[in-house]
A = this chain, B = another copy of it.
Amino acid sequence: MSLHIVSKSPFSSTALADCLTSFIEGDALVLIEDGVYALSGALKSQPVVGPVYCLAADAQARGLTIPAAVEAIDDDRWASLCTEHNPIVSWFR
């Protein structure tokens, strides 16, 4: 199943919204770069989809706390997720 990678803020881009429209059972979502701002909004308490992963370094860079419902990951875990899923779909605009 697909691994979706979102790298833009949900407050200024429709990248996350478009991704969620394409999200189906069995898929997974990785928030990177400005995509981690979803943690301060839509995905704060109860994510609408799952599983949701978040690059810890990107959240830390931006002063965001990763909520319990989202799994903090490093680059190595991200790479592993990419081997466990296919295709890999980037949403960057």
Q: Mark A8-31, 1 if CB is under 8 A from B, else 0.
A: 000111100000000000000000
| Interface residue ranges, A against B (CB under 8 Å) | 11-14, 93
Alpha-carbon distance A17/B31, docked complex (angstroms): 24
A38 to chain B, nearest CB (A): 15
Residues of chain B within 8 A of A13, CB atoms compared? 12-14
Residues of chain B within 8 A of A11, CB atoms compared? 14
Residues of chain B within 8 A of A12, CB atoms compared? 13-14, 93
By CB atoms of chain B within 10 A, which of A12, A14, A93 has the most? A12
Residues of chain B within 8 A of A14, CB atoms compared? 11-13
Alpha-carbon distance A87/B14, docked complex (angstroms): 29
